[in-house]
A and B are shown apart, each in its own frame.
Chain A
Amino acid sequence: MDPVTAMFLIIAGGVLVGVCVHFIPASAVGAMSASTGIATGPSMLSFGAGLSGILSASFALDSGLAAMLASGAAGSTLMVVLTILGGNLVNAFGTGVPPVSGQTASGQSVLGSSTKDAITGWEQKPFVTPGTDGHGMPVQTAISGVIGGIIGGLGGAMVFFGVQFMFVPVSQEAAGLSGMIAAGIFLINCVLPAYTLVGKTEGMFDRKMLRVPKTFLSCLIVSTFLALIIYSTSTYASMGAT
């Protein structure tokens, strides 16, 4: 592997991070059980998931790229799935509402006019509290969250691996430094989709999924810029060292 491949790895990772935010269901109004999705902002939640992925990936630092990517994906997905479990538990026993998708119930999701859950086939409409936009995380959004976790974990681990690869020759504390920089790149890329999503998404069956190309292009531009900075930094620094 050479530094140019590592640079492309950072760019690809950054784009994946941007896309993962679209898959993880999140909505701040969810905290009042007034909307489908995990009850916090999309960028915050994806960042939390991504960091637990990077932390998991750090344990596989010496086992090569594939092991690191797998470990990062596992860490992120575990965080997302457990958060969905916790959120559903509180919704079920703390608030007393079954998980239900508001957008599917109103027939506006990408599934067309169907008001049934895409995976279980359960009817959604009668379970929505009037005046709210669904609550909790029904099965279709949970599956979407798992996919988002895998994508985000892969992206985070890719960025981490790329940065780590470039910083090993120039720094004694490469792991910590590249962890910090990978977290920064993750963060920058997961705020951009939040602009696209306007604070709320139900995952892959949400109509906002159609806006992924915008996210993709913006994240591509921003990640390319950041990857170029890191690439030139490490190249000049290693030139200075030799």
Chain B
Amino acid sequence: MSTGTSATSGGADIPSLKLFLISIITGLAAIYLQGYTAAYVFILIPLIWPAFVSSANGVRSLASYGLGTGTSSIGYWGTAVGATTVYAGMQMGLSPIVEISAALAGGAITGICAQKIIKMRIPVMVRESAILAASTAVIIRFLAGLFPEQVSLLFPLMYIAVTLAVLHPYNGSMGAGENQRRTLWLSRVEASMTTAVFGLVLLFIFPSMTGAGIILVSALGFAIFIRGWYRMVKKEIYGMSWTGFPAAEH
């Protein structure tokens, strides 16, 4: 892991497998603890943020190869695999582990097709597709568990909000000076934004402490993460000013 001394290059990347393992452990813990915490479910919100980071990292590893299709396509494709398996699995009350493994298999199969049949020649294709699909499945499974009823009404919003949170960190920081550390900080910021949105929706469905708690926890996370992200931005940006003209052509 990088120690934070290097500026633009960001040091060695955190391996995506490590991020994925963390996300799957905390994510599964969060999903299984949902049943016990009842109204205090908001304390589990921080446990789901690693899954956002892991999927954003999956998008980053895939899209940085230049796939011939937009970053957004990767993001919404990965989330579609995760979301479709979870939505189908929830109908029969499958165990979350089965759903997530199905998503993992779905991502891997698509990756193998892309690698072997279409011949993409991207070394990380299979691994990252599987990670992306499984991490988004973890997120969607957790979010779906937050709502006791009317949950199928929220499926479209869950799908598309998670898609944006997953693809935006890399899409938003794309450029020559992009690096993993800043992208992942942005992904944390957006993870907290997304959970806050679902807290708000929960608050509208049941005006209770739970929804308010989710918003509060997310806001705390947002305050911490946006500082971390802004520190990185200030360190890496060429310059900031309130107003002015570009020097080169003026």
- State the A residues within 8 Å of B (CB): 28, 41-44, 167, 170-171, 173, 176-177, 180-181, 184-185, 187-188, 191-192, 194-200, 214-215, 217-218, 221-222, 225-226, 229-230, 233-234, 236-237, 240
A188 CB contact (under 8 Å) in B70, B84, B92, B153: B84
B12 contacts the other chain (CB 8 A): no
With A188-B80, A191-B73 known, 18 other A-B pairs at CB within 8 A are A41-B73, A43-B69, A43-B77, A170-B92, A180-B159, A184-B159, A187-B80, A191-B76, A191-B77, A192-B110, A195-B68, A195-B120, A214-B119, A221-B109, A221-B113, A222-B106, A222-B109, A225-B106
Contact between B113 and A192, CB atoms less than 8 A apart: yes
B84 CB contact (under 8 Å) in A43, A184, A199, A217: A184
B91 CB contact (under 8 Å) in A44, A177, A187, A198: A177
Contact between B87 and A181, CB atoms less than 8 A apart: yes
Q: How many residues of B contact A (CB 8 A)?
A: 36
B222 contacts the other chain (CB 8 A): no
Minimum Cβ distance to chain B for residue A203 (Å):
17
Which residues of chain B have C-beta atoms less than 8 A from A222's C-beta? 106, 109-110, 113
List 16 A-B pairs, Cβ < 8 Å. Answer: A41-B70, A42-B69, A44-B72, A44-B73, A173-B153, A180-B87, A184-B83, A187-B77, A188-B84, A191-B76, A192-B110, A194-B69, A225-B106, A229-B89, A233-B88, A237-B92
Q: For chain B residues 90-119, which have a beta carbon within 8 Å of chain A?
A: 91-92, 94, 102, 105-106, 109-110, 113-114, 117-119
- State the B residues within 8 Å of A (CB): 67-70, 72-74, 76-77, 80-81, 83-85, 87-89, 91-92, 94, 102, 105-106, 109-110, 113-114, 117-120, 152-153, 155-156, 159
Which residues of chain A have C-beta atoms less than 8 A from B159's C-beta? 180, 184
Which residues of chain B have C-beta atoms less than 8 A from A214's C-beta? 117-119
A171 CB contact (under 8 Å) in B72, B84, B91, B117: B91
Contact between B92 and A233, CB atoms less than 8 A apart: yes
Main SS at interface, chain B:
helix
Which residues of chain B have C-beta atoms less than 8 A from A184's C-beta? 80-81, 83-84, 87, 159
Contact between A188 and B152, CB atoms less than 8 A apart: no
Q: Which of A167, A177, A191, A194 has the most B CB atoms < 10 Å from its CB?
A: A191
Contact between B88 and A41, CB atoms less than 8 A apart: no
Which residues of chain A have C-beta atoms less than 8 A from B69's C-beta? 41-43, 191, 194-195, 198-199
Which residues of chain B have C-beta atoms less than 8 A from A42's C-beta? 69
Given contacts A28-B70, A233-B89, A233-B92, A187 and B106 within 8 Å (CB-CB) = no
